Amino acid sequence: MPKAGFIVTRVSFLILAASMLVVAMLAGPAAAGQTCTCSSSSKCLFAVSVSPSSPAAGVSTPFVFTIKNEASHQRLGSVKISAPAGFVITGASGAASVTSSSALFVNLSLAPGASTAVTVTATVPCGPSTYQWGIEAKPSNDFSGTGHDFQLDPASAGNLKGTLMGSCTIQPCPPGNCVASTSSASTSGTVTTSSAAQGDSIETGMESTSRGSSFGFSCGTYKPVSDAFGFTVFNAAAVPQSTLLKATLRIDKSLVKSSGRHGASSWQICYASTSSFTALPGTSGTTSIGGVTYHTGLLPACSSRAGAPCVQARNKTKCDDVLVTFLAIGDPYGRG
């Protein structure tokens, strides 16, 4: 006959074993239904949008990538963004590594259904007119591993494409003095610098201000009539430089006549710059060009108190064209 202690011990063991079996039965189906990695049979999707989608040609532009983890079971850990052909990446806040052609963002730990935004600054080329970004995403926080990558949601594929707004040309500069010009049917512009460094180049563009164009900005009550003259000095790494520039805007006599401003002294420079500047009172404002915010306003006359940007001279040619010469810094646009 078994002893009482033995019976108690055996019953306790059977109860414990039964409890463990119940726990295993309850946990088993949940564990079996959970997938820990992305695979061909259990795809992990992510969505992306990019702003702006129509940047201005030849302009340094911050692009915002909004990324959403659409997987139901897997965190998104890291993302690599690759620049379109001709674009030069010059910065990416918070990125683990940045090259001229890519930016890597790690330790995102983006939960299912969550979104995040990262910014990549790139110098936009003068062409071609269309482009496409590249993007890769992985579950790992350090962008390691193969065979388990996230896949881009096909509905987001078109968001990586874009179209350049406007056009421009790039001219390499010798060290020292450098001159570049551009023109449209009614407006021409020339820009010079005396402090070009080895590897510098000047980008110039004459942008149409037809209806609907974001280049058609104005300054207070002054309504410019010319096309927008844009210019920038870039170094060898495609980074815009804060170089002092002398620009001359030539307005064709046909525009001079139709504007009603026949005297040279009545012409102003309606200026747009990514950097704030001192404008004539009552003319300051802002405008968006290619997704970038510009400060706008009429330039004051150059003097001992008013330095660049400022208007240096206004003249009229024998052909009744108007010439306005002004000093500028950075990568501005000017209209007359």
Q: Which residue has the tokens 């001219």?
A: 171
Listed residue (103, 49, 31, 116) closest to 76, CA to CA: 116
Same domain, yes or no: 198 and 276: yes
ω before 309 within 30° of 0 (cis)? Answer: yes
From the number of C-beta atoms within 10 Å of its C-beta (0-12, 13-18, 19+), residue 309 rates as: buried
Tokens standing for residue 215: 């280049």
* Residue 1, C-beta contacts closer than 8 angstroms, at least 6 positions apart: none
**Structure confidence by residue, pLDDT tens digits, 13-37:** 333 333 433 333 333 333 333 345 7
Q: Measured over all CA atoms, what is the biggest interatomic distance in the chain, rounded to whole angstroms? A: 130
Same domain, yes or no: 311 and 197: yes
**Structure confidence by residue, pLDDT tens digits, 303-315:** 988 899 999 999 9
Domain boundary among 144, 163, 182: 163
For residue 38, name the pLDDT band (cuts at 50, 70, 90): confident
* Number of structural domains the chain divides into: 2
Tokens standing for residue 277: 């500047």
Tokens standing for residue 315: 């003249």
* pLDDT(3) > 60: no
Same domain, yes or no: 51 and 194: no
Domain that holds residue 248: 169-335
Same domain, yes or no: 129 and 262: no
The reported pLDDT for the residue numbered 109 is: 97
Residue type, 62: P
Same domain, yes or no: 177 and 145: no
**Structure confidence by residue, pLDDT tens digits, 218-232:** 999 999 999 999 999
The reported pLDDT for the residue numbered 41 is: 67
Same domain, yes or no: 182 and 54: no
Q: What is the pTM of this model?
A: 0.84
Q: Is 198 among the domain residues? A: yes
